[in-house]
Amino acid sequence: MNMTEQIIRLALFEDTCLGDVTTESIFLYPQEKTAIIVAKQDFILAGTDVAKKVFHAVDPSMECKIHFNDSDPIKKNDVIFTISGDIRSLLTAERVALNFLQRLSGIATLTREFVKTLDNPMVRLVDTRKTTPGWRKIEKDAVRAGGGFNHRFALYDGILIKDNHITAAGSIAAAVSLVRARASHLMKVEVEVSDMAQVQQAIDARADVIMLDNMDIDTMTQAVGLIGKRALVEASGNVSLKTLNAIAGTGVDVISCGALTHQAVSVDLSMRIQSN
């Protein structure tokens, strides 16, 4: 069972651990029905595969037809899904499927807004690890559906020496040295810095990537000039739609933005049972 299947199972258990008392009281026997999922606003679609898996987890016999692909722009009143099956299965799966679809489409929609606002094609917009616990894989998929890119997935697939690492190790030089002595030579070493003195220390330590954390625009511009082409430069902190292009204008290579996931607002969808 993969991570997506596990969170679907947990979400369904949360909602239906003792059954669906309303549906089971009204519908004592199977009834074949068709439902549609309809957009109630414009947005960018994400999470269709997750929603489909929710319906099939409740009842593998349900038929799901998806009318759009992830990353497609959706207009109000568009029909996104048509699902056919036992009315009891449809109603039991409804809220969990919609929760996934609404949340993930919200992330894709916000990401697309950032991507459209960013007017420098040489700068890459990436997400962070500021994700909903357990949802990281699907939320990062939603960022890509919106046109963004992914930073490291977790602690195991990328080296990022942050302020607490530096404090505990004693210095940037010590932290980088310890990492290089133990980590794979195939992994780049990224160091988070907050002032010009730390920028120089990261350069001296031969960091592969230098993250400029919560710097103002003038300091960031100065840091990019000092680094030159000796390291890839990432900007992080205080990234918003208003600040995005000013940050990009400093010459950084990458902008990481936690808002893509932790400030996204779920879109509005509805599932409607069709009359016979």
Q: Is 140 a catalytic residue?
A: no
Catalytic residue among 130, 137, 152, 180: 130
Catalytic residue among 127, 139, 141, 192: 192
Three-class DSSP category at 53: helix
Q: Is 130 a catalytic residue?
A: yes
Reading the block at residue 155, the tokens are: 């602690």
Reading the block at residue 109, the tokens are: 């929609």
Catalytic residue among 40, 65, 162, 206: 162
Catalytic residue among 95, 124, 129, 144: 95
- Which DSSP symbol is given to 98? H
Q: Is 272 a catalytic residue?
A: no
Catalytic residue among 86, 94, 139, 213: 213
Reading the block at residue 182, the tokens are: 């133990």
Q: Is 95 a catalytic residue?
A: yes
Q: What letters, b where the CB count within 10 A reaches 16 and e where it falls short, cover 18-50?
A: eebeebeeeeeeeeebbbbbbbeeebbbbbbeb
Q: Token match 């690492």: residue?
A: 165
Cα 215 to Cα 43, 211, 218, distances in angstroms: 33, 10, 8
- Which DSSP symbol is given to 275? P
> Which positions are annotated as active-site residues?
95, 130, 162, 192, 213
